[in-house]
Amino acid sequence: MSFRFLHHQGVADGPRLGTLVTPHGEVSTPTFMPVATRGMVRGPWPDRLRPMGVEMMLANSFHLAARPGVETVQKLGGLHKIMAWDGPVLMDSGGFQAFSLAAISKVTDDGVKIAHPVHGAMVDWTPKVAFDVQAALAPDVAMLLDECPADPRDRISVALAVRRTLLWARMQRDMHEARGGASSGQAQFGIVQGGVFEDLRGECARGLVAMDFDGYAIGGVSVGEGHEAMMDGVRHSTQLLPVDKARYLMGVGTPLDLVESVARGIDMFDCVYPTRSGRFGTVLTDEGPYHLHNAKFAADPRPLVPGCDCDACLTGVPRGILRAGLKSHEFLPPSLLAHHNLHYLIHLMKRIRLAIADGSFEELRAAINFAYRRVEPPQL
């Protein structure tokens, strides 16, 4: 795997254009990766992802190992086959699952003891197990197992998470090199932790850069610290990361977070936000989000977003009937809303790339800030 620039400002923390080259194709950056945790995106059908502009997908090693299991995935034709996707795949390692299931997990220097999501028994998810699972599932990019601290503002726990993240990074880097490194066909990304603390972010970033990973992710953000603190964490990290390597901000996906992170030098994103928010009735637009459960849409005959060329809007199904379907727990409305929201973000990233290229990025950034920082909902 390699990363090459098309355009950047010669600084570490400005908007940039690039191309990520992988064994399964090239990816234009900045890019947004839909989340297929268990090999499936919740909402859009697999054959609609390429047409809307998706270039890279994300799956999760912990959940796929739990069900259907590594051997079953291999028997069914491998990771790309089960996803019905022939493009690049990035695979998360399970570190965030340890954070999200903190009440039923325990982290030590050896790894994470965590409740199995299927049968409930405690299992050991260690750096070696995470590495072996990703090697067997064969994504294009494998993420390190790291520790995501529960509270990014608690310095003691964050400092411990940084120490463990670097300890585990060294172990997994050694395993990767023993397997052949880049010649194995799989890239490996390190993950910068450090919470809201600039010095701890710096310590983690410098330690990872010394190990020379193929790319670098920023983790432990969007976990309750607020937008401005999250952007500080991004800035503190990107300033210390190599300019010639891809930077990936994990688990971030609102339009405001995307455009502001691109402004700070981020190339790659993933998040369940567009599909999850759609399933719960939120619709993304250039004027800001609106919520279909609002009573004013009960008899609205318009499609989700007039003029939008996504498959969901082109069906012409009225807002009013989609609202009624959501309230009746029908399957179609949440699927259509998830499809529209993902389409919106994928096309927003395309607009961001075009704006960086033609010099109008700050205008687009201002428009997204106006639409998504407003207190009052848009009049739609």
Band of pLDDT at residue 362, cut at 50, 70 and 90: very high
Examine the domain organization and report whether 24 and 56 are in the same domain: yes
Examine the domain organization and report whether 62 and 165 are in the same domain: yes
Rounded to whole angstroms, the Cα distance separating 311 from 290 reads: 19
Average pLDDT of the residues in 320-335: 98
167: in domain: yes
Examine the domain organization and report whether 100 and 185 are in the same domain: yes
Examine the domain organization and report whether 323 and 367 are in the same domain: yes
378: in domain: no
Quick one: how many helices (H) and strands (E) in the chain?
15, 16
Looking at the predicted structure, is the pLDDT value of residue 327 above 80? yes
* % of the chain at pLDDT higher than 70: 96
Examine the domain organization and report whether 261 and 318 are in the same domain: no
Examine the domain organization and report whether 360 and 229 are in the same domain: no
- Which of these three, 222, 242, 269, is where a domain ends? 269
Looking at the predicted structure, is the pLDDT value of residue 104 above 90? no
Examine the domain organization and report whether 69 and 185 are in the same domain: yes
117: in domain: yes
Examine the domain organization and report whether 265 and 289 are in the same domain: no
Rounded to whole angstroms, the Cα distance separating 370 from 373 reads: 6
284: in domain: yes
Examine the domain organization and report whether 185 and 237 are in the same domain: yes
The whole-number pLDDT of residue 374 equals: 76
Report pTM.
Answer: 0.95
379: in domain: no
Residue 309 annotated in active site: no
Segment 5-46, tens digit of pLDDT: 887 665 557 899 999 999 999 999 999 999 999 999 999 999
State the chain's mean pLDDT as an integer.
93
The whole-number pLDDT of residue 232 equals: 85
**To which H or E segment does residue 21 belong?**
strand 17-22
Looking at the predicted structure, is the pLDDT value of residue 307 above 90? yes
Rounded to whole angstroms, the Cα distance separating 43 from 334 reads: 7
Segment 199-239, tens digit of pLDDT: 999 999 999 999 999 999 999 886 666 788 889 888 888 98
The whole-number pLDDT of residue 96 equals: 75
Examine the domain organization and report whether 251 and 150 are in the same domain: yes
Examine the domain organization and report whether 244 and 311 are in the same domain: no
Residue 7 tokens, joined = 């355009």
Q: What is the phi/psi pair of residue 107, to 5°?
A: -105, 130
The whole-number pLDDT of residue 101 equals: 63
Lowest mean pLDDT, pick from 106-110, 176-180, 243-247, 376-380: 376-380
11: in domain: yes
Q: What's the CATH number where 60 sits?
A: 3.20.20.105
Buried b (16+ CB within 10 A) or exposed e, 81-109: ebbebebbbbbbbbbbbbbeeeeebebee
- Which of these three, 269, 290, 320, is where a domain ends? 269
The whole-number pLDDT of residue 47 equals: 97
Position with higher pLDDT, 304 vs 230:
304
Candidate list 151, 214, 270, 358, residue with the active-site label: 270
The whole-number pLDDT of residue 100 equals: 64
380: in domain: no
- Which of these three, 269, 298, 327, is where a domain ends? 269
Residue 341 tokens, joined = 């929201």
The candidate with the shortest Cα–Cα distance to 288, out of 337, 253, 334, 255, is: 255
Residue-wise DSSP of 247-308: EEETT--SHHHHHHHHTTT--EEE-SHHHHHHHTTEE--TT--EETTSGGGTT--S-SSTT-
Band of pLDDT at residue 102, cut at 50, 70 and 90: low
Rounded to whole angstroms, the Cα distance separating 166 from 302 reads: 53
Residues 6+ apart with CB under 8 A from 302: 318, 319
The whole-number pLDDT of residue 206 equals: 97
Residue 270 annotated in active site: yes
Segment 53-100, tens digit of pLDDT: 999 999 999 999 999 999 999 999 999 999 999 999 999 998 777 666
| Domain span including residue 129 | 2-269
Task: Tell the residue number behind the tokens 């981020």, with chain if given.
Answer: 266
Long-range contacts of 66-71 (CB under 8 A, 24+ apart): 66/116, 66/117, 66/118, 67/38, 67/117, 67/118, 70/133, 70/136, 70/137
Find the length of the chain. 380
Examine the domain organization and report whether 295 and 251 are in the same domain: no
Q: ∠ at Cα 249 (362, 96), nearest 5°?
A: 150
Segment 189-201, tens digit of pLDDT: 999 999 989 999 9
Candidate list 92, 140, 214, 267, residue with the active-site label: 92
Rounded to whole angstroms, the Cα distance separating 41 from 272 reads: 9
Question: What's the structural domain count of the chain?
Answer: 2
The whole-number pLDDT of residue 43 equals: 94
